[in-house]
Amino acid sequence: MSSSLVLLQLLNGLQFGILLFLLSAGLTLVLGIMNFVNLMHGSLYMLGAYFAAVTLNATGSFIEAAAAGIIGTLIVGLALEAAIFRKLYSRDHMTHVLATFGLILFFNELVSIIWGSGSIATSVPDALSGAIQIFGIPYPIYRFAIIVVGLIVAIALYVLIHRTRIGILIRAGASNATMIAALGINIRMLNGAVVAIGAGLAGLAGLMNGPLASVQPGMGGPILIQTLVVIVTGGIGSVRGAFYGALIVGLVDTVGRVFLPFLLRGVMAAATAQVVGASLASILIYLVMAAVLALRPQGLFPVKHG
């Protein structure tokens, strides 16, 4: 096993972790502040990918595609919050699950009707094609750009949450939403802002991952499950937990899928090791989550109250 392969997979794990962070940051705020289980967050990721892919294919401009993916998804998120979500906040979690699962089915069918049931091809923009050298290892510029964008978003969220008034309100809402509402804060506007942030980040994740994945109906389902693992591992309501949890899950998932089959070849046949290793790798992140919950039921980096 060469050092270049290890470094390459670590970078891929970091890139995947950053992508998960873009999804989990907004969703963990929604869960932490509004105690709202939004299972259709993955559908916002899917819509962001579709808006960006369709715009890119129509205009050839990645900048216009990025604007369409983020702004379009943000508008959809605000519309859903105003029309549906705010009517569900006072309901129990099972109602949240059923309602948002219904929205998953709705949006999957909607994109199938509008853009067809097949996938939409999209490509990496010319300006971000090619590779750069990282410690002597060639690495795709586009994947590196995802890492950079994710880190910029993480810094921006830190500044927003810890250095601005709306951030103070968001942190207070995560601790005690009832109290800040009693103090005269417009909780409806705060909820709308949180959903808008989450929807915009989901759209950003969708448009960034579009050229690397297949843009098709239902693409938000698998990544939503991994996003929930991130949130539970890091700590519900904690953006810091979402960041570190995403990095852990991304690295464990990527490195496990590549190296587990290789390691098992020492104790079994190559073909068997490939099958067994792939199966074990698919459950690694859930084993990590289970271990975290056994040791720290509140997650690795829970929200600090008080």
Q: What is the pLDDT of residues 56-76, one digit of tens each?
A: 999 989 999 999 999 999 999
Would 165 be classed as within a structural domain? yes
In Å, what is the CA distance from 7 to each residue of 13, 112, 135? 10, 39, 9
Would 129 be classed as within a structural domain? no
Q: Which of 62-76, 78-92, 161-175 has the lowest mean pLDDT?
A: 161-175
Alpha helices in the chain (DSSP H): 3-34, 41-59, 62-83, 93-115, 141-163, 165-182, 187-209, 220-234, 239-264, 270-295
Q: Which of 76, 11, 8, 13 is nearest to 281 (CA)?
A: 13
% of the chain beyond a pLDDT of 70: 97
Alpha-carbon span 267 to 277, nearest angstrom: 12
Would 144 be classed as within a structural domain? yes
In Å, what is the CA distance from 126 to each residue of 52, 60, 122, 278? 16, 10, 12, 34
Q: Which of 113-117, 256-260, 293-297 has the lowest mean pLDDT?
A: 256-260
Q: What is the mean pLDDT of residues 131-146?
A: 90
Helical pair 41-59 and 3-34, crossing angle rounded to 10 deg: 120
Q: Is 127 exposed, middle or buried (0-12, 13-18, 19+ CB in 10 A)?
A: exposed
* Number of domains within the chain: 1
Q: Which of 94-108, 176-190, 254-268, 270-284 has the lowest mean pLDDT?
A: 176-190
Alpha-carbon span 297 to 84, nearest angstrom: 31
Q: Is 53 exposed, middle or buried (0-12, 13-18, 19+ CB in 10 A)?
A: buried
Would 126 be classed as within a structural domain? no
Would 85 be classed as within a structural domain? yes
Q: Is the C-alpha dihedral spanning 61, 62, 66, 69 positive or negative? A: positive
Per-residue pLDDT at 44:
95
CA angle (167 as vertex; 246, 45 as ends), nearest 5: 40
Q: Which of 27-41, 60-74, 128-142, 177-191 has the lowest mean pLDDT?
A: 177-191
CB 292 within 8 A of CB 252: no
Return the HEC string of 223-259. Answer: HHHHHHHHHHHHCCCCHHHHHHHHHHHHHHHHHHHHH
Per-residue pLDDT at 266:
74
pLDDT tens digits, one per residue of 20-62: 999 998 888 888 777 889 999 999 999 999 999 999 999 989 9
Structure-model confidence comparison of residues 161 and 227, the more confident one: 227
Tell me how far the alpha carbon of residue 92 is from its chain's centroid: 24
pTM above 0.75, yes or no: yes
Structure-model confidence comparison of residues 273 and 130, the more confident one: 130
Residues forming a β-bridge with 138: 133
Alpha-carbon span 112 to 13, nearest angstrom: 31
Would 305 be classed as within a structural domain? no
pLDDT tens digits, one per residue of 263-297: 888 777 778 878 888 788 888 999 999 999 999 98
- Identify the CATH number of the domain in which residue 102 sits: 1.10.3470
Backbone phi, psi, residue 215, to 5°: -85, 105
Average pLDDT value over all residues in the chain: 88
CB 17 within 8 A of CB 177: no
Q: Which domain holds residue 145?
A: 3-117+137-295
Would 130 be classed as within a structural domain? no
Per-residue pLDDT at 134:
87
HSE-CB at 202 with a 13 A cutoff on CA atoms is 36
Would 131 be classed as within a structural domain? no
Q: Is the pLDDT of residue 199 over 90?
A: yes
User: CA torsion, points 174, 246, 210, 142, in degrees to nearest 10?
Assistant: 120
Per-residue pLDDT at 180:
75
Q: Is the pLDDT of residue 113 over 70?
A: yes
